[in-house]
Amino acid sequence: MKVAVFSTKAYDRQFLSAANSPIQHELVFFEPRLNRDTAILAAEFPAVCVFVHDQVDAQTLEILASGGTRLVVLRCAGFNNVDLQAAADLGITVVRVPAYSPYGVAEHAVGLILSLNRKIHRAYNRVREGNFSLDGLLGFNLHERTVGIVGTGKIGLILGQIMKGFGCHLLAYDVYRNPELEALGGKYVELPELFANSDIISLHCPLTLETHHLINTEAIEKIKPGVMLINTSRGALIDTQAVIEGLKSGKIGYLGVDVYEQESELFFEDLSGEIIQDDIFQRLTTFPNVLITGHQAFFTAEALYNIAETTFANITDIEQGRPCANEIRA
């Protein structure tokens, strides 16, 4: 199948080309993101392959459909950037990669926890400048601390396993209980109880209407003072302005995020020579107890290989008329 691949970086081309080698789909790589202005590039392509910040809205889908596209292939798990109803109305099939190396995301969350707690990122810069003072670098033992995990699917479960290894107590919240987490000793509670009793809160749930701004002013009022808040899931789970107020008041003691609700204008690009116009994001970077990474939690060799492999399995299933387990519908 002829596939237009949008939002491609060098690493995308490397892993996608390698995985496609034995299959021989016809891939054409485009660096721009897919949106209503760039959709014309996919004219006469039966399929497009897109990533998290591509805008697959109704107008974009109409342009794709008019050019002959009948398949949208997401090389990611999230699909909130796709208008599924419009796709269905236009006869366009949508598939995704529901899971890819959940260990990478969970391990990155742990990396944020450790770095924030022991001030590793600050210590690194100090030592490079010849400053070996320990003032301001005081941390705490993770042993016997309580970790609240919001969302206990594959990634949340793996985080629980790792934190259990540190000797932490586990609280959990999910609409579906995971018996494997309960077997670790994890206790399912309602969100107010999790907020009130967790020393560390880590978010691992999808972005839905119900979870949008899950961490807001009301939630911050309920959390344990000095809590560490970690988000490696979706940026809009957090009301950033409310979190800034929580940081200023000291109610939030630490913030580690790999995602940001307005990240589409920032992440995956080199903006080091530009003036960033997002004042809220810039305010976040001024706090010494905030650590931000640019949506790299997924970025392991294993994950990129799994993404590419599943992406082409999805394409082949659709091309050959087989049911695809990873199809998503309105």
Strands 327-328 and 93-95: antiparallel
Q: Are 237 and 207 in contact (CB under 8 A)?
A: yes
Distance CA 151, CA 102 (A): 13
User: Rounded distance, CA 60 to CA 184, Å?
Assistant: 46
- Given a contact cutoff of 8 angstroms between Cβ atoms, the answer to whether 63 and 87 are in contact is no
Tokens for 156? 């949340």
Q: Is the dihedral of CA 32, 37, 38, 39 positive or negative?
A: positive
What the block records as the tokens of 241 is: 């302005």
CA atoms within 13 A on the CB side of 16: 26
Pair 34, 47: CB distance under 8 Å: no
Given 25, 53, 96, 234, the catalytic residue: 234
Phi and psi dihedrals of 24, rounded to 5? 70, 40
Is 212 a catalytic site residue? no
Q: What angle do CA 260, 72, 78 make, to 5 degrees?
A: 30
- Known catalytic residue: 295? yes
Q: Of residues 25, 53, 108, 295, which has the active-site annotation?
A: 295
Rounded Cα distance between 238 and 316, Å, is 37
Catalytic residue among 33, 96, 204, 263: 263
Give the C-alpha separation, 116 to 273, whole Å: 27
Active site residue 234: yes
169-173 and 187-188 beta bridge pairing: parallel
Which are the catalytic amino acids? Answer: 234, 263, 295
